[in-house]
Chains A and B, each alone.
Chain A
Amino acid sequence: MHGLNFDVAHLLAGSLVLVSFMLLYQDRLYSLLNIFAVHALVLSLSVAWQAHIQDAPHLYITAAIALVFKAIVIPVALHRMIVQLGIHREIETVAGIGPVMLVGIGLVGLSLAVMLHITAGANLIAREDLAFALSVLLLGLLIMVTRRNAVGQVVGFMSLENGLVLAATGAKGMPLVVEISVAFSILIAFIVIGIFLFRIRERFDTVDIHALDRARGEQR
């Protein structure tokens, strides 16, 4: 049962969680983007491995999308955008690295405890994949909550979405996986293009509470 197939799938899914932790403590935009490219690369390897062991060739398409679109096109596009729009390169975080890492560890513990408990009947690879996927999802959420810059939030969202793709490919024979990953890519492309076209520079730069109050139309 614990053959090579399982070990490699386990290794790759585990690495994805590890890279999510690396995303958590980046405080520079460029390094955040570089680490995200690694995240997407690990995902695409993991998906390709699932395609191999499940004998499901359509998953190679998902892997290719992850590799080309998320590991190359999006980081490069965001990189150029940061240069062109003159965005601050430092990321303003809400809390210090220490507490955030501790919360992250807590979230991973929580998702392992929950998912391994409720999926007792499912097959082993799917169980592990699902537990890791929920960890990546929750860590992505944590990244989004602790960043104030739009780029930081987008990267958090993309890592969250990588967790979903991991879960979807882990569920054996799930239909519409390719369609869903395409839909997600469109969604992300939409945001990135939207950021660029609308040039919401203010959004990237300011953490001024007054600006937010104005946006709510409720200052006195």
Chain B
Amino acid sequence: MNGVTWVLMVPALAAPLLALLPGYRLSARVNIAASFLTLLAALSLFAGPQAGPSPYVLVDQLNIVFIVLNTLVGFTTSVFSASYIGHELETGRLSAVYLRFYHAMYQVMMFGMNLALLANNIGLMWVAIELATLATVVMVGIYRTHEALEAAWKYFILASVGIAFALFGTILVYMAAQPVVGEGLQGMTWTVLVAHVSKFDPGLLNAAFVFLFLGYGTKVGLAPLHAWLPDAHAEGPTPISAVLSGLLLNVALYAILRFKILMALNHEVIATGPLLVTVGLVSVVFAAFMLYRRRDIKRFFAYSSIEHMGIIVFAFGMGGPLANFAGLLQMTMHSLTKSAIFFTVGHIAQVKGTQRIAEIRGLTESHPLLGWSLVVGVIAIAGMPPLGIFMSEFLIVSSTFAREPLLAIALVLGLLVAFGALLMRLQGFAFGAPSEGTAAVRASYLPAFAHLALVLVAGLYLPPALGSWFQHVARVLG
């Protein structure tokens, strides 16, 4: 039994257990414990010697970063979720039966994401991403209001189409591989594909990448394929918004990065960088302007996620050690910050009884802890120093300036527009006379504080071990 087995087994065993356990207090604790064990198992991957790849599972330096981030945010979200659902149960928005379902689905989702990250087989990766998506679709619709069902339906339809395209791309990769590596399992095994990709048919690979990028890009929430994302974030329970933004988007991005590496090893195919840069830039600028027109707080931060995924995809599209490093850092910081914001927003929406931006005012006065956490979170996500996102955005912009000044100007424009929107809204949320709903709240502040502290520390002083790890991964990404 090694770390890999535990990372997969713990959520797989916890899911049926949580489906059977009665009583939400107990199952919330079991959920936390299971998520914590998964995190420990993921951390053990760092320490232990790495076993060689099996036909199905692979651990390398790229996916360890993703897995640790995934399980860390999974754990903190489960802590937040425990206090969040307590309130939902009291107000009768969720019943006990639904909570059993909710907890089981939470672990199913974690299992799907971890499996997708660990998969050494592109077919298995596809199945795992589908599983994780399905689990989130169900959770988005769990409130069963008209709006929630509409959001879940839209998410489901768009995600399914994306997933269908991704499968078609996967089949094309197999078709390209089959004449070279032979029939059967090795035609889909990642390590085998990487070793032989230079001999694959370039035409098939090009078509495959277009389909894969369209398919998984839908799941990353890149404009113009983003339509499901704001609805899914706004209508589901807030812990799900946090894991959607913080984790599921990253997992889909990871799939794209894997295929980007594959494409880079064949010298006759199209360059994938410009495609990523274009779509990333469009997402940044589009989402930045859309931020001004939002009236729902969760929808507002969902658009901010689209913007940040755009920045990250842009950075990976630019490529090179520096931009890749900055992209990885930006991804990590965004996951931590955005989930911290959703943790506070979840409690804010509960005390205010609304998600409408116009009805949320003066939080620093009525709820100082929540209000100031939100202030720090928004400042961080807007990219102000000394927090971590400032550093990564600075690296992305400066490295782009050195190579493609015009692109950098467009990117900076998008960043500034988004910055304006975030600060303008923050002013309303945090200061002024408090709006209705000033009751005290039983919130768990720890997850949000922990995330923001990590972001602050990373902004001031990035531990050299982590820095060199990221640098190494950046070189792998090419």
Contact = CB atoms under 8 A, between A and B. Distances in A.
Interface string A176-199: 100110010001001100100010
B296 interface: yes
Contacts of B156: 191
Which of B160, B201, B293 has the most CB atoms of chain A within a 10 A radius of its CB? B160
B201 A211 contact: no
Contacts of B204: 118-119, 122
B171 A198 contact: no
B146 interface: yes
B283 to A, nearest CB: 19
Interface string A147-162: 0001001000100110
A173 B171 CA distance: 11
Interface stretch (A2-10, A16-24, A101-109, A212-220): A212-220
- For chain B, what secondary structure do more than half of its interface residues adopt (helix, strand, loop), or is it mixed? helix
Sorted from nearest, which 9 A-B pairs have the closest CB atoms?
A: A173-B183, A118-B203, A215-B150, A176-B123, A217-B296, A175-B185, A215-B147, A200-B149, A167-B171
Interface in A129-152: 130, 133-134, 137, 141, 144, 150
B49 interface: no
B119 to A, nearest CB: 11
Contacts of B187: 173-175
B203 A117 contact: yes
B127 A183 contact: yes
B161 A168 contact: no
Given A118-B203, A217-B299, 18 more contacts: A118-B206, A133-B168, A157-B160, A157-B164, A168-B167, A173-B187, A175-B184, A179-B123, A180-B127, A183-B131, A198-B144, A215-B235, A216-B231, A217-B234, A217-B235, A218-B294, A218-B296, A220-B295
B355 interface: yes
B248 interface: no
B178 A175 contact: no
Interface in B174-211: 174-175, 178-179, 183-185, 187-188, 201, 203-204, 206-207
Contact of B161 (A144, A200, A217, A218): A144
A121 B180 CA distance: 12
A82 interface: no
Contacts of B203: 117-120
A216 B230 CA distance: 9
Interface string B272-303: 00000000000000000000011110010000
B134 A157 contact: no
A167 B168 contact: yes
Nearest to B147: A215
A164 B130 contact: no
Contact of B123 (A121, A157, A175, A218): A175
Interface in B371-429: none
Interface of B: 121, 123-124, 126-127, 130-131, 134, 138, 141, 144, 146-147, 149-151, 153, 156-157, 160-161, 164, 167-168, 171-172, 174-175, 178-179, 183-185, 187-188, 201, 203-204, 206-207, 230-231, 234-235, 293-296, 299, 355-356
A194 B294 CA distance: 30
B167 A144 contact: no
B164 A160 contact: yes
Contact of A212 (B150, B178, B293): B150
Contacts of B124: 176
Nearest to B299: A217
Contacts of B207: 114-115, 118
Interface of A: 114-115, 117-122, 126, 130, 133-134, 137, 141, 144, 150, 153, 157, 160-161, 164, 167-168, 171-176, 179-180, 183, 187, 190-191, 194, 198, 200, 202-203, 211-212, 214-218, 220
B112 to A, nearest CB: 11
A160 B164 CA distance: 8
Nearest to A164: B167
Contacts of A144: 157, 161
B178 A214 contact: no
26 contacts: A117-B203, A118-B204, A119-B203, A122-B201, A126-B175, A157-B164, A164-B167, A164-B171, A174-B174, A175-B123, A176-B124, A180-B126, A191-B156, A198-B149, A203-B149, A203-B153, A211-B146, A214-B146, A216-B231, A217-B234, A217-B235, A217-B356, A218-B293, A218-B295, A218-B296, A220-B295
Contacts of A141: 161
Contacts of A150: 153
B47 to A, nearest CB: 32
A187 B112 CA distance: 14
B137 to A, nearest CB: 8
A134 B157 CA distance: 19
A220 B150 CA distance: 19
B178 A171 contact: yes
B355 A217 contact: yes
Contact of A122 (B175, B235, B294, B355): B175
Contacts of A120: 203
Contacts of A174: 171, 174, 178, 183, 187-188
Nearest to B207: A118
Contacts of B121: 175-176
Contacts of A214: 146-147
A161 B164 contact: yes
B146 A215 contact: yes
A115 B211 CA distance: 12
Given A121-B201, A164-B171, A179 B127 contact: yes
A173 B184 contact: yes
Contact of B178 (A130, A173, A202, A215): A173
A168 B188 CA distance: 12
Contacts of B185: 175
Contacts of A160: 161, 164
Contacts of A157: 157, 160-161, 164
A200 B127 contact: no
A126 B238 CA distance: 46
B296 A176 contact: no
A176 B188 contact: yes
A220 B141 CA distance: 24
B175 A171 contact: yes
A175 B410 CA distance: 44
A172 B183 contact: yes
